[in-house]
Amino acid sequence: MGNLREIAKASTKLGLTSFGGPTAHLGYFRDEYVEKRKWLDDKLYADIVALCQFLPGPASSQVGIAIGMIRGGILGGIISWAGFTLPSVLFLMLAAYFVVGFNVTDSGIIQGLKIVAVAIVAHALLGMQKNLAPDAIRIGIAIAAAIGVLLIPTAWGQIGVIVVAGVVGYFLFRREQAPDAVELSLSFGKRAGIVAWILFAGLLVALPFVRTLTENVYVGILDTYYRVGSIVFGGGHVVLPMLEREVEMSSDLFLAGYGLAQAVPGPLFTLSAFLGQVTAGVPGALLAVFAMFLPSFLLVIGTLPFWSFIRTKKGIQAALKGVNAAVVGILLAALYDPVFTSAVKSSYDFIIVLITFTLLTAFKFSPLKVVAISALLGLLVYGV
């Protein structure tokens, strides 16, 4: 029970303070779970990040779920997800009642929250580079990965970069002695993993068929959000075009929900709470959130037991050196686009970046304090 309480405390803190989108979340997670609580090291953390980049769905949420499961079993994963996700779910459900007719996307506070993501990601990037790309060869892989992601700015481009980096790492490092493997102490095994994969595929096939038999709005929500959560790679930003096509809603209302989802802490996939609330009230919101994140649970449960086995193999360890370096490059590319390009629009914005980055790195301010300061500076510069 002690582990579960720790998971609840840590994940809820992250759920209340993790502003800035999926790439910034990885920085918050690293600060909390690697630097502060030392539940895992940079190597294992990067392995989990790389694993979740391969899986469809919200990568940052899956990282949190995986860490919770490693720490406290399947229940720990559920608690980790709930702490990280439910605060923004509640915020967005409430906002759905009041957002119509109000221009919330131009708020100075929201702009300040976007800007702080630049500092958070840059800070995480420095720490990860020291541990995961410490030499010239791996720095080269990281830079090549960043270039590849920027030249092919799609989810498939990102997956391709990781695969290529793994192959390069295998050939470059396969003769080196593999480091001691860190075993994952899981409360479930491969049998549970296989069952999870069967459920994942079965629901993906069955729900569209069931939907053809009824016009029930809740069945429609379950099918739409489960399918989107199952097949979208690349995180919250990538899910938007598919959701906009699937959900019958005005563009203005949809984009207002998107702006709010970026403004609140937690994963961008909680946009489903806003959209579900507008579509079918509180039951619609809760069902949309459940359906959107259910694939993530099934995929993580299905993959973790096998990942624990795979990562002990010498050849895989060599490949993971390349993959880990590529993760640094992917974060570097994300620091530029979408984090920097969407947040920094003027010299005033860049000044706030410099201030918040300095507070994080030189003065060791906590992310919560830096987020609050950035929001205040945004308010002072741009107004309400």
The three-state (H, E, C) secondary structure of 250-310, written as one string: CHHHHHHHHHHHHHCCCCHHHHHHHHHHHHHHHHHHHHHHHHHHHHHHHHHHHHHHHHHHH
CA torsion, points 196, 218, 275, 49, in degrees to nearest 10?
0
Instruction: Indicate the range of 45-49, 108-112, 207-211, 269-273 predicted with least confidence.
Output: 108-112
Q: What is the pLDDT of residue 113?
A: 75
Q: What is the pLDDT of residue 2?
A: 66
Q: What is the pLDDT of residue 343?
A: 81
Question: Which whole number is the average pLDDT over 241-270?
Answer: 73
Instruction: Give the integer Cα–Cα distance in Å for 255 and 10.
Output: 31
Using pLDDT thresholds of 50, 70 and 90, give the confidence band for residue 201.
very high
Q: What is the pLDDT of residue 291?
A: 95
Using pLDDT thresholds of 50, 70 and 90, give the confidence band for residue 237.
low
Question: Which whole number is the average pLDDT over 97-112?
Answer: 68
Query: Is residue 307's pLDDT more than 80?
Result: no
The tokens 């779970």 sit on which residue? 33
Task: Quick: pLDDT tens for 327-353.
Answer: 888 888 878 877 788 788 899 999 999
Question: Which whole number is the average pLDDT over 229-257?
Answer: 67
- Please give the mean pLDDT across all residues of the chain: 84
Question: Which whole number is the average pLDDT over 231-241?
Answer: 60
Using pLDDT thresholds of 50, 70 and 90, give the confidence band for residue 121.
confident
Q: What is the pLDDT of residue 159?
A: 75
Query: Is residue 248's pLDDT more than 80?
Result: no
Query: Is residue 287's pLDDT more than 90?
Result: yes
Highest mean pLDDT of the ranges 93-97, 104-108, 113-117, 276-280: 276-280
- One-letter amino acid of 332: L
- The residue ranking higher by pLDDT, 313 or 49, is 49
Using pLDDT thresholds of 50, 70 and 90, give the confidence band for residue 76.
very high
CA torsion, points 101, 105, 110, 116, in degrees to nearest 10?
170
Using pLDDT thresholds of 50, 70 and 90, give the confidence band for residue 318.
confident
Query: Is residue 105's pLDDT more than 70?
Result: no
Instruction: Give the integer Cα–Cα distance in Å for 84 and 96.
Output: 20
Task: Quick: pLDDT tens for 356-384.
Answer: 999 988 998 877 688 788 889 988 998 86
Query: Is residue 102's pLDDT more than 70?
Result: no
Question: Which whole number is the average pLDDT over 202-211?
Answer: 91
Highest mean pLDDT of the ranges 89-103, 104-118, 274-288: 274-288
Please tell me whether residue 179 adopts helix, strand or coil conformation. coil
Query: Is residue 241's pLDDT more than 60?
Result: no
Query: Is residue 164's pLDDT more than 90?
Result: yes
Instruction: Give the integer Cα–Cα distance in Å for 271 and 268.
Output: 6
The token duo for 312 is 């002990």
Query: Is residue 235's pLDDT more than 70?
Result: no
Question: Which whole number is the average pLDDT over 124-149?
Answer: 90
Contact residues for 147 (Cβ-Cβ < 8 A; gap 6+): 329, 333
Instruction: Indicate the range of 18-27, 38-47, 188-197, 335-344 predicted with least confidence.
Output: 18-27
Instruction: Give the integer Cα–Cα distance in Å for 341 and 150.
Output: 12
* Cβ–Cβ under 8 Å, residues 356 and 116: yes
* Cβ–Cβ under 8 Å, residues 280 and 215: no
Instruction: Indicate the range of 1-15, 211-225, 267-281, 298-312 predicted with least confidence.
Output: 298-312
Rounded (5°) CA angle 164-165-169:
120
- The residue ranking higher by pLDDT, 97 or 381, is 381
* Cβ–Cβ under 8 Å, residues 367 and 360: yes
